[in-house]
Amino acid sequence: MDRLIKKNWWKALGVLILLYVFVMGMLVPLKPGITQVTPSATRTNSQIVLDVQGYNTHFDEAKDTMRIWIKMDDEYILAATRITVKGPTQVEAAFEIPAYLPSDRRVQDFALVIDNHIDGAAVRPNALLVTQDSIDLAMGQTVWRSDRMENLHQLKGITFPFRNILGETIRNTYFHVSLWLAMMIIFTAAMVYSIKYLRKQERRFDHWAAALTTVGLLLGGLGLLTGAIWAEYTWGKFWSWDIKQFTTLIALLIYFAYFVLRRSFPDEAQQARISAVYNIFAFVALIPLIYVLPRLTDSLHPGNGGNPAFGSEDLDSTMRMVFYPAVIGWTLLSCWIASLLYRTAVIEEHLWDEEPTHD
């Protein structure tokens, strides 16, 4: 029993971590947010009533502390003159837009901010576009100085961030993004074993490299599939030839060719040597395909087209609490699967080697 625990503890650890990821990833609620603001455009010197739709909000219970603003930047803010709560997720806010804006642009965008004591503060960027009839920066600046946005409430308890369009699918970070990082770790390990094989020429290193590459390919395939499902409901299409979708497909095809290559050599030593060299080549191709090329042009993926990946915008501290364990959990589970493949390959080798003596 002791030996069993000593040898296999990491498998149990991987499963426990993944269990934590599933429970936390599915059960932690989303932060209250704003899904829709109508109408989305108006002119200066007018009265407007905005219909605001919330998500996970408690407008009716927090009626007394409700405050709503439209906001150009930290300095120029306008508070709602009248707030009518219609339900837990619906509220109407009336604004009196002054004749001039504190901006020299003809059309200026405003964010909408809602605050109450239960939900805390929620922001919707670009909620309202205001077109001004005549531009007078100085007049605008004097008219817009009155309102302040102070004493915003902090939401209690742990939540995941609310993002428009994403909604609850932000949880896919733990079941899609983490798969890719686990895949990178597995492919790196496969490359290390390929180098080891080339240095020592021991058959077992080749078995490990092949097993790990198989699992890496499984993770990558699942990454593409889950990404396509996620894309259908956020980008609108399963496959939109996005640069990152395209380059990862190429990278996976390169790795797929590894197995085609392995089968085409009858001599075992030659097979192991050439596939080890090819595996190193595939890894060298993988890095620019996944991490460099998508950043050079515009992509639908966050963290590409010049944006830093995993900034605080994409991944806040509560999400990190689940995301990093998810990467470790998937990696450990993949190592377990790879070890099954390795052991199978070793048994197969023994059997095939014995075969001639039996016949």
Report whether 25 contacts 322 (CB < 8 A).
Answer: yes
DSSP 134: S
Question: Which residues contact residue 329 at a Cβ distance below 8 angstroms, ignoring those fewer than 6 apart?
Answer: 14, 15, 17, 18, 20, 21, 178
Q: Which is nearer to other proteins, 84 or 159 (CB)?
A: 159
Tell how many helices (H) and how many strands (E) occur in the chain: 8, 9
**Can you tell me which of 45, 233, 307, 308 binds other proteins, judged by CB under 8 A?**
233
With the CA atoms of 290, 177, 163 and 129 taken in that order, what torsion angle do they form, in degrees rounded to the nearest 10?
10
Q: Which is nearer to other proteins, 140 or 325 (CB)?
A: 325
Question: What is the smallest separation between the CB atom of 218 and other proteins, expressed in angstroms?
Answer: 6
**Can you tell me which of 36, 188, 226, 339 binds other proteins, judged by CB under 8 A?**
226
Q: Which is nearer to other proteins, 13 or 296 (CB)?
A: 13
Q: Does 127 bind other proteins (CB under 8 A)?
A: no
| Interface with other proteins: number of residues (CB under 8 A) | 35
Q: Does 166 bind other proteins (CB under 8 A)?
A: yes
Q: Does 252 bind other proteins (CB under 8 A)?
A: no
Closest residue by Cα to residue 299 from 253, 252, 240, 254? 240
Task: Kindly indicate which of the ranges 110-118, 254-262, 268-276, 345-353 contains the residues binding other proteins, using the contact rule CB under 8 A.
Answer: 345-353
Q: Which is nearer to other proteins, 259 or 281 (CB)?
A: 259
Tell me if residue 68 falls in helix, strand or coil.
Answer: strand
Q: Does 344 bind other proteins (CB under 8 A)?
A: yes
Task: Look up tokens 């936390």; give the residue.
Answer: 24
**Can you tell me which of 221, 249, 302, 318 binds other proteins, judged by CB under 8 A?**
221
Question: What is the smallest separation between the CB atom of 341 and other proteins, expressed in angstroms?
Answer: 7
Q: Which is nearer to other proteins, 146 or 344 (CB)?
A: 344
- What per-residue string of b and e applies to 211-226 under the rule 16 or more CB within 10 Å gives b? bbbbbbbbbbebbbeb
Residues 30-49 that bind other proteins (CB under 8 A): 30
Number of C-alpha atoms within 13 angstroms, CB side, residue 347?
6
Cβ count within 10 A of residue 157: 8
Q: Does 300 bind other proteins (CB under 8 A)?
A: no
155 membership: H or E segment, kind and range:
none
Q: Which residues bind other proteins (CB under 8 A)?
A: 22, 26, 30, 55-56, 166-169, 171-172, 175-176, 179, 218, 221-222, 225-226, 229-230, 232-234, 238, 337, 340-341, 344, 347-348, 351, 354-355, 358
